Amino acid sequence: MDRDLGNYRKSYEKQELLEGNVSDNPMELFQQWFYEVDENFEMGETNAMTISTIGGDGYPKSRVVLLKKYTHEGFIFYTNYDSEKGRAIIKNPNVCLSFFWPAAERQVIIKGKTEKIAENMSDGYFDSRPRGSQLGAIVSNQSEVIKNREILEERLKVLEKEFEGKEIERPDFWGGFIVKPIEIEFWQGRPNRLHDRLRYKLDYDFNWILDRLSP
């Protein structure tokens, strides 16, 4: 198999990213960008983000998850704590998040430290999920090898009968993580590959330092 992709080219010309037009706080700029992309571009799931972790085997692994909330403290998502992803985070809480919004020619890359959120917050979000998603979280031993899909379907049928007419409580192995950023880079595509890259980095006094990076 051999295919040359060298002729895949695109000129980025939609917007610019200049120091004089951004907030001193990167979370405020993230909120602005998220709103602009969500309102003005056909993106599907604007909250889709790639999270990269270091596994127990020493290799990095990236996968797409959904951002469910962001605050001044950081970025919150939910998962099975016993999954490959969950175990990797608990062992090494240093992760990288990245958002790619091609229609806006923008990326956001976030380095941060991860910790579990309060149990009542996880309870609240779990209660807000559709019933099928609640059961799905219980059915799946996430990341474990299974023989076939029929096993999942049968487990779901059993649980549907077991919980018929009953409230479904959040299992202990499922909940939220928050990624508290120490560095956030905003990338805006520009012509001639001279892209705008502005990086916010926390100093020892927890102040955000803004630098421009060469593309």
Q: List, in order of start, the domains of the chain with CATH numbers.
A: 19-129+172-212 (2.30.110.10)
Q: What average pLDDT does the segment 111-132 reach?
A: 97
Q: Are strands 75-80 and 174-188 parallel, antiparallel or unpaired?
A: antiparallel
What is the distance of C-alpha 156 from the center of its chain? 27
Tokens of 95: 């992760």
pLDDT in tens, 9-51: 888 989 999 999 999 999 999 999 999 999 999 888 999 999 9
Q: Is the pTM of this model over 0.85?
A: yes
**193 in active site:** yes
Cβ-based burial of 122 (10 A; exposed 0-12, middle 13-18, buried ≥19)? buried
Q: What number of CA atoms fall less than 13 Å from residue 188's CA on the CB side?
A: 17
From residue 164, how far is each of 20, 168, 186 by CA, in Å? 58, 9, 47
Q: 8 pLDDT band (50/70/90 cuts)?
A: confident
Share of the chain above pLDDT 90, in %: 87
> Catalytic: which of 193, 197, 199, 212?
193
Torsion on CA atoms 158, 142, 180, 168, rounded to nearest 10: 0
3-state SS of 16-52 is CCCHHHCCCCHHHHHHHHHHHHHHHCCCCCCCEEEEE
